[in-house]
Amino acid sequence: MIAFDFSSRVAVITGAGGGIGQRIANMILKAGGSVVMIDLKEEPGDLAGLPEQRLYAQGDLTDQAFVTAVIDEGAARFGSIDHLANVAGVLWFDRDASLLEIDLDVWDEIFEINLKSMVHTARAAVPHMRRTGGGTMVHFSTTQCLRGDPVPQDAYSTAKAGVGALSRSLASQLASYNIRSNAIYPGLTMTPLQARWGIPEKRAEIARTVPLGRIAEPDELASAAVFLLSEGASYITGIDLVVDGGLLLK
């Protein structure tokens, strides 16, 4: 296990109320960092670190004023904003569908949550990073946008394709400010978004589609994200990191 040091560093993490986002938060807290956590869900009871290391804000990431206020509050409380992890997203199997038939209001709502929310967080965090001489960002996309799906969730996969473009654009624009930006493309991962895999038989069936023979645990995606945020990745920016157990080999 890599040992990370986030002492005197401050991270903003969206989707930190569970799943991969909470795992990233806990890793940074255990490594001595402070974390600003944003989620629609209530604050979980099993967060790591001390209360003085944490600022938890329950609210809507599509509300730009809310996002900016929370990030500014975190900078004022902890002294800086050094890292941003855009993890939050929605996967609506009951409403997302082919672009030929989806309700376009649903399309717009999914784009607001899965892509535009990252614009809000970046616009709020980058001025603080510039002020302190640098920072790092990681943005979560999906392998689904690289391979298509016979049962389409077109709004989800198209918005997530935009995440890669957003990340690369930020990397190009902000390199001279010592701000790095990278994107992660998870494969099949056992998160709350995938409650449909709740029974062991279904998980085993899905695992057989992955060359490594299993579904990823949230910690495995969180570790990749924390590495990209850390000084261990100090010469890495503008990349698309696929973490999928070999799924795209098929």
* Residues tagged active-site: 156
Q: Which amino acid is at 53?
A: Q
DSSP letters spanning 82-135:
-EEEE------TTT---TTTS-HHHHHHHHIIIIIHHHHHHHHHHHHHHHHT-E
For residue 188, count CB atoms less than 10 angstroms from its CB and return exposed for 0-12, middle for 13-18, buried for 19 or more: buried
Contact, 153 vs 144, CB < 8 A?
yes
Q: Which residue has the tokens 């609506």?
A: 92
Cα 157 from Cα 13, distance rounded (Å): 22
Q: Phi-psi bin for 154: left (phi > 0), alpha (psi -120 to 50), beta?
A: alpha
**Cβ-proximal residues to 187 (8 Å cutoff; 6+ apart), any chain:** 143, 210, 216, 242, 243, 244, 245, 247, 248
Instruction: Take residue 59 and report the two structure tokens written for it.
Output: 């609210």
Strands 34-39 and 54-58: parallel
